[in-house]
Amino acid sequence: MKTRMMQIIDSENVRDEELREAARILRTGGLVAFPTETVYGLGANALDEKASGKIYAAKGRPSDNPLIAHISAIEELKPLVKEIPEMGRRLAEAFWPGPLTLIFPKSERVPYGTTGGLDTVAVRMPGMAVARRLIALAGVPVAAPSANLSGRPSPTTAQHVWQDMQGRIELILDGGPVGIGVESTIVDVSGKIPTLLRPGAITIEMLEKVASTVAIDPALMGKPDSMIRPKAPGMKYRHYAPKAEMTLVEGKTEAVVREIRQLVDEQMMAGHRVGILCTEETREQYPRGILRCVGARSDEEMIAHNLFAVLREFDDLQVDCIYSESFPQNHLGYAIMNRMQKAAGYRMIHAK
């Protein structure tokens, strides 16, 4: 299949003519990658099992990993769900359009092929106007996981999508680099207490302002094992991962730098190419190794924005291993560390 790339001239003021071809492809069962405010999504008609099946094939995604259905307006929620629990309504009102995915009991209209066989459906109304207008023009809810090959870092630019999806999908809409850079927060509202299944830019602190109690899926931070099954099936897979083996080093910043310097020396002695994921504050302190700076420690938003692109850069640089600094796990830092732990396959060293 020949993949076309189409540039959106001005994402803030997208014209319908620029989206008509993409909408037609979605409506007729094809695949289109498009920008959202979180990461690039790989879209297909969520109500057409055959179309959503193509997403799994293009990504190499395990078939038990359900897709998020994207809508363009709140009225489009009702047909997808059996009921809208009070807490779901309140969270949607507070954070939609935006980077929050809610899990509802699904209606008959949503095929099991889209929900990975579950009786629930994940729904989100994206904040980016290009995405909402595209969904509106397509006239169907759009199932859209991140537009990367399964297991690779999520794409935050159209070029990342091209690297992974060229030859596998009909069209990539290039709307420039995304804003947030990590995937949506996922909250299950199908049970009694809203439960966080994946941290994202809508933080626990923000959720708690609307829902006084928010439970956290016990499987979230630790290494997934057979005892605790994550409620979001996708969270059990190694994910977001660069090709090289990555190790996180946590502790006081000076100790972390010292530890990483020593590890880098050892690896280089063994003849390996070593990547270091560092920050503005520490970059001058590493005399050896291939440095990539993810932003300033004081600016979590910048770190989230750059994270996946930096992991992909390490792939391009063909490093053998990566040592990475760690970040405090509050606010957006929770989402950042969740993705980094997965990228590292939970390899973590505590520096003393």
Q: Where do contacts with Mg ion occur on this chain (CB under 5 A)?
A: 146
Helices (H), 102-149: 112-115, 129-138
Give SS3 for 114. helix
Q: Which helix (H) or strand (E) holds 247?
A: strand 245-250
Question: Which of Mg ion, ligand AMP, none sits in contact with 186, Cβ below 5 to 8 A by type?
Answer: ligand AMP
Question: Which of ligand AMP, Mg ion, none sits in contact with 99, Cβ below 5 to 8 A by type?
Answer: none
Does position 332 interact with ligand AMP (CB under 6 A)? The reply is no
Amino acid letter, 191: G
State the residue for tokens 């990483």.
Answer: 260
Does position 62 interact with ligand AMP (CB under 6 A)? The reply is no
Interface with ligand AMP (CB under 6 A), residue from 22, 23, 55, 68: 68
Interface with ligand AMP (CB under 6 A), residue from 121, 134, 180, 182: 121
Nearer to Mg ion, 146 or 157 (CB): 146
Nearer to Mg ion, 198 or 292 (CB): 198
Q: Which two tokens stand for residue 70?
A: 């994207």
Question: Which of Mg ion, ligand AMP, none sits in contact with 231, Cβ below 5 to 8 A by type?
Answer: ligand AMP
Does position 122 interact with ligand AMP (CB under 6 A)? The reply is yes
CB atoms within 10 A of CB 236: 17
DSSP state of 64: T
State the residue for tokens 């289109």.
Answer: 32
State the residue for tokens 């199908």.
Answer: 190
Q: Which stretch binds ligand AMP (CB under 6 A): 6-14, 61-69, 79-87, 325-333?
A: 61-69
Does position 186 interact with ligand AMP (CB under 6 A)? The reply is yes
Closest contact distance (angstroms) between CB of 8 and ligand AMP is 21
Does position 33 interact with ligand AMP (CB under 6 A)? The reply is no
Per-residue x/- mask for ligand AMP, residues 79 to 118, rule CB under 6 A? ------------------------x-----------x--x
Contacts (CB under 6 A) with ligand AMP, residues 125-164: 145-146
Q: Which two tokens stand for residue 245?
A: 């083996």
Burial class (CB in 10 A: 0-12, 13-18, 19+), 270: exposed
DSSP state of 170: S
User: What is the rounded distance in angstroms from the CA atom of residue 68 to the CA atom of residue 346?
Assistant: 25
Q: Which residue is nearest to ligand AMP (CB)?
A: 234
Does position 36 interact with ligand AMP (CB under 6 A)? The reply is no
Q: Using alpha carbons, list the distances in angstroms from residue 30 to 92, 120, 167.
A: 29, 24, 13
Residues facing residue 45 across a β-bridge: 142
User: What is the rounded distance in angstroms from the CA atom of residue 302 to the CA atom of residue 307?
Assistant: 8
Nearer to ligand AMP, 174 or 183 (CB): 183
User: What is the rounded distance in angstroms from the CA atom of residue 124 to the CA atom of residue 321?
Assistant: 36
Q: Which two tokens stand for residue 237?
A: 């897979």
Nearer to Mg ion, 239 or 297 (CB): 239
Q: Which stretch binds ligand AMP (CB under 6 A): 5-13, 17-25, 62-70, 269-277?
A: 62-70
Give helix 332-343 / helix 300-316 axis angle, nearest 10°. Answer: 20
Does position 66 interact with ligand AMP (CB under 6 A)? The reply is yes
Per-residue x/- mask for ligand AMP, residues 216 to 255, rule CB under 6 A? ---------------xxxxx--------------------
Nearer to ligand AMP, 103 or 307 (CB): 103
CA-based nearest residue to 88, from 229, 186, 184, 198: 186
Interacting residues with ligand AMP (CB under 6 A): 65-66, 68, 103, 115, 118, 120-122, 145-146, 183, 186, 197-198, 231-235
